[in-house]
Amino acid sequence: MYKREFDNLINSKKVPNFFLIRGNDEFLNAFCAKQLINLWNSENVLEQYFEEYNFNEAMSFLEPSLFSDKNIIYIKNDKTTSTKEIKEIIEKCKKDENNYVLYEIYECGNRLNNDFLKAFGTNFLRVFKPNSQNEALQILTQISQILKLFPNSIALLEIYKIHNENLSLCVAELKKFKSLNLELNLENVKENVFGLSEVSFEDLFEKIINLKDFRDDFFTYTQSGSYNESELIGYFYSSIFRIFSIHTFIKINGKIDFRQVLGYLPPIQIQNNLKTLALQFSTEKFKEMFISLNKTEYSLKTKTNINKTYLLLSGLLEFQRVLSKK
């Protein structure tokens, strides 16, 4: 299901006790997960994030408890784990309505196991970054209502613009308005909201792949608290590999089947963008891209006593030069 169907499910308060959330927007993933856990309503929650996942601990946690009527497991990862294990966990939930499991996947280009996904049946949500201002406005309106702020559309769009379409920063502003008891209007936004000029990975990737000057955005990106050289080059590799997978499928089959290649069906706009990029480059060009990224990653891992931010910038400029060569 998609966000609208999920909202209807939450409003109905008739949600299943095992659920999967998967998407490429960490904030929206977490926001939807919180809605679900709040609705399940229990203080007995076991959280297992990434490498913390432990099957035996999860199974033991789902045993009947003297301290709580409900047992909730919240697993957050960037990949699928053992299909056999998740089926056993889900079976525990099916046999006991007081057991709950939420599995949240942050998708960053990793191929997901279809059998794992099918184990949840129809109990899943696909989350995408907003494709338009209207989609973002709907989400911010919803959050404003939760915070009991009157959702002024003009004010919300101004906040969204100031924070460079970063929903997480926008919500932080809304919480500030709530705590200061400020009316949400355009005048108060202009007086109290100041942008941090954040740049997302998607912004950076789009400029590089389209041969635009990305240096200012790169340095802005490196100032964010989440910046990591190895992680950034990994994101680039995953993004290029996803486009290459589409390129290869089209070359072999003469057409594209996104469900077969990616394991899901993206929105039309994203489909069109991915297909355009997949057809823009030759197989040989993709090979050159991977070689360029591998060289940069190797340099980052092996060279010492050097500014790695500038080393990464040099590598990305070289990557862009590879793209520009005929």
- Over residues 101-159, the pLDDT tens digits come to 999 998 866 678 889 999 999 999 998 888 778 888 989 999 999 999 998 998 998 89
CA distance 21 to 136: 19
The two three-digit tokens of residue 300, written as one number: 């980052």
Q: Which of 53-57, 223-227, 300-304 has the highest mean pLDDT?
A: 53-57
Q: For residues 249-259, b (16+ Cβ closer than 10 Å) or e, as one string?
A: bbeeeeebebe
CATH fold of 201-324: Zinc Finger, Delta Prime; domain 3 (1.20.272)
Cα pseudo-dihedral 242, 248, 249, 252, rounded to 10: 180
What does the pLDDT read at residue 67? 65
Percent of the chain residues past pLDDT 90, beyond the cut: 46
CA distance 193 to 33: 27
Per the model's pLDDT, the better-predicted residue between 252 and 66 turns out to be 252
DSSP notation for 144-173: HHHTT----HHHHHHHHHHTTT-HHHHHHH
What does the pLDDT read at residue 140? 94
Is residue 197 very low, low, confident or very high in pLDDT (cuts 50, 70, 90)?
low
Q: Are 229 and 309 in contact (CB under 8 A)?
A: yes
Q: Which amino acid is at 326?
A: K
The two three-digit tokens of residue 245, written as one number: 């997978």
This model's pTM is above 0.75: no
Q: Are 215 and 188 in contact (CB under 8 A)?
A: no
CA distance 185 to 158: 10
Q: Are 108 and 24 in contact (CB under 8 A)?
A: yes
How many residues appear in the chain?
326
Reported as a single tens digit per residue, the pLDDT across 244-254 is 999 999 999 99
DSSP notation for 234-277: HHHHHHHHHHHHHHHHHHHHSS--HHHHHSS---HHHHHHHHHH
CA distance 104 to 15: 16
What does the pLDDT read at residue 236? 86
The two three-digit tokens of residue 136, written as one number: 């973002």
Q: For residues 274-313, b (16+ Cβ closer than 10 Å) or e, as one string?
A: bbebbeebeeeebeebeebbeebbebbeeeeeeeeeeebb
The two three-digit tokens of residue 242, written as one number: 């996803």
CA distance 101 to 307: 44
Q: Which CATH class is domain 3-127?
A: alpha beta
CA distance 153 to 121: 37
CA distance 64 to 53: 21
Q: For residues 142-163, b (16+ Cβ closer than 10 Å) or e, as one string?
A: ebbeeeebebbeebbbbbbebb
The two three-digit tokens of residue 208, written as one number: 């590089």
Pairing of strands 124-127, 71-77: unpaired
